[in-house]
Amino acid sequence: MANLASNFVGIKSPNPFWLASAPPTDKEYNVRRAYEAGWGGVVWKTLGEDGPPVVNVNGPRYGAIWGADRRLLGLNNIELITDRPLEVNLREIKAVKRDYPDRALVVSLMVPCQEEAWKAILPLVEETGADGIELNFGCPHGMAERGMGSAVGQVPEYIEMVTRWCKANTRMPVIVKLTPNITNILYPAEAAKRGGADAVSLINTINSITGVNLDNFAPEPTIDGKGTHGGYCGPAVKPIALNMVAEIARNSETADLPISGIGGVTTWRDAAEFLSLGAQNVQVCTAAMTYGFKIVQEMIAGLENWMDEKGHTSVASIVGRAVPNVTDWQYLNLNYITKAHIDQDACIKCGRCYAACEDTSHQAIAMSDGRVFEVKEEECVACNLCVDVCPVEGCITMVQLEAGAIDRRTGKTVDPEYTNWTTHPNNPMAKVAAE
């Protein structure tokens, strides 16, 4: 049987599924319910300094993007960090950790970018018995306008500085939560490492407006006729998160930096993909807010079954397995050639492949009497668009041409000799690159 036990920078949990710092982790009641449902860990919703209270809006806090079947694809939220008193949060954290010693409990923190503010809050959190802290350098709304959150996360020098302060003033592991609202995720990741971070977590939410109310012309969610940008999360951000996790995992300067993967994790498969790209555990928010805490039971069962099927005995055996296969474009094999193939028995004759290819691609699909669709190999460039638009899974597949076969589009023999664009004879810079 697969063992899902996780050890993330010394923080142990029975499985790699943690709840991210967000509304579901704002109070003791929620966290206890989460642990009882099976979550391996929780990152408590971000705490601020002991001072003037944070005041949240009393109107709508979420905007949404839905698929055609009303499935929630993305949430935009304008909620701030916890608006509950610091003393209450600390008391509840201590009680929960006492009663669930085998579960991970990390506390998210966000205070002004001043050393004294961090030195003041760290011992208070440490006294609760929490397993670690997560520095919230990612929140893109509300707090960023106050010089915190992503306002810090977008400046590598600030990340390094605050991380150093925290490492110098606490025994707890320090996890730095990174913002995706930046051009190159490696800059903040490298800064966190220079500052001594034990790990990074990413991604935080993406700055966004999910829609506009066309009756009053205000962004959604609308508060008394006005709206603002918020943080976007959910299944729609997963591709962005996977790429950023992979970039850190395959960068020589940060390859040994432990990663907690966040961004659209909804199923066990999503989690396995994050793990394979270098994350050592995953954090979840939108899926729990959509389906409730018990969604983790499906994630656990699914990951266990897949690991058993594939012969993986531990989570560690999955971590990073896909990283060597992530490369830059110029190293892709230009002599790997495929052609689309349509399974006539599975085809429902909807014509989506034909319309997409005829109008927007390479006119490589022919339609004959009886709405029979067939691929014209001599025109097919293997772009895969027909596979992606086909509503029947497995109906259209890409079939590889073996070395020595004739590519009917070019009339040339498939040659395995040239394996990447840098050395390919069609590249006008190949000679320059070689020299």
- Are 40 and 16 a contacting pair, CB within 8 Å? yes
- Is residue 400 within 8 Å of 336, Cβ to Cβ? yes
Residue in this structure with the two tokens 């807010």, named with its chain if needed = 289
Reply yes or no on whether the pLDDT at 62 is more than 70: yes
Q: What is the pLDDT of residues 15-45, one digit of tens each?
A: 999 999 999 999 999 999 999 999 999 999 9
Q: Rounded distance, CA 246 to CA 275, Å? A: 10
Produce one character per residue of 302-319: b if its CB has 16 or more CB atoms within 10 Å, e if not.
bbbebbeeeebeebeebb
* Selected residue with higher pLDDT from 33 and 59: 33
Domain at 6-325, CATH class: alpha beta
CA 188, CA 137: separation in Å to the nearest integer? 10
**What is the C-alpha separation between 190 and 254, in angstroms, rounded?**
6
d(CA 38, CA 301): 11
With a cut of 60, say whether residue 210 has pLDDT above it.
yes
Confidence at residue 31, expressed as pLDDT on a 0 to 100 scale: 98
Q: What percent of the chain has pLDDT over 70?
A: 93
SS3 call for 396: strand
Q: Which CATH number is 329-434 given?
A: 3.30.70.20
Going from N- to C-terminal start, the domains of the chain cover: 6-325, 329-434
CB-based burial of residue 262 (10 Å sphere; 0-12 exposed, 13-18 middle, 19+ buried)?
A: buried
Residue 80: predicted pLDDT: 80
Mean predicted confidence (pLDDT) in 301-325: 97
pLDDT band at 429 (very low <50, low <70, confident <90, very high): low
Neighbour tally for 196: CB within 10 Å: 14
Q: What is the pLDDT of residue 163?
A: 96
Q: Of residues 324 and 402, which shows the higher confidence score?
A: 324
Instruction: Tokens for 126, please give them.
Output: 């440490």
Tell me how far apart the alpha carbons of residues 430 and 435 are, in angstroms, rounded to a whole number. 9
Which residue reads 């599924």 in tokens?
17
Model confidence at 423, pLDDT cuts 50, 70, 90, reads low
Residue 180 pLDDT exceeds 80 = yes
Q: Rounded to an integer, what is the distance from CA 218 to the centroid of its chain?
A: 29
H helices present in 9-48, as ranges: 28-37
- Three-state secondary structure call for residue 384: coil
Q: Whole-prediction pTM value?
A: 0.92
Beta pairing class for 17-19 and 281-284: parallel
The CA-atom distances, in angstroms, between 36 and each of 30, 39, 42, 96, 284 are 10, 7, 12, 12, 16
Residues designated catalytic: 139
For residue 158, what pLDDT band results from cuts at 50, 70 and 90? very high
Which has the closest alpha carbon to 365: 395, 330, 331, 405? 395
Q: Which residues, 6+ apart, have CB-to-CB distance to 100 below 8 Å?
A: 32, 35
pLDDT at 56: 80
Q: For 280-310, write each residue's pLDDT tens digit.
A: 999 999 999 999 999 999 999 999 999 999 9
Alpha-carbon torsion (153, 111, 19, 60), positive or negative: negative
Closest CA to 43 of 110, 99, 88, 140: 110
State residue 236 phi and psi, 5-degree precision: -65, -25
Residue 425 CA, distance from chain mean position: 38
Cβ atoms of 331 and 422 closer than 8 Å: yes
Tens-digit pLDDT profile for residues 241-286: 999 999 999 999 999 999 999 999 999 999 999 999 999 999 999 9
| Rounded Cα–Cα distance for residues 268 and 246 (Å) | 18
Map residue 248 onto helix, strand or coil: helix
The mean pLDDT value for 159-184 works out to 96
CA dist list (Å): 115 to 165, 167, 216: 6, 12, 44
Answer yes or no: is pLDDT of 195 > 90.
Answer: yes
What is each CA distance from 172 to 10, 123, 125, 202, in whole angstroms?
Answer: 10, 10, 9, 19
- For 358-368, write each residue's pLDDT tens digit: 999 999 999 99
Residue type, 123: P
- Measured in residues, the chain has a length of 435
Could you please report the per-residue DSSP string of 283-335?
EESHHHHHH-TTHHHHHHHHHHHHHHHHT--BGGGTTTTTGGG---GGGS-TT
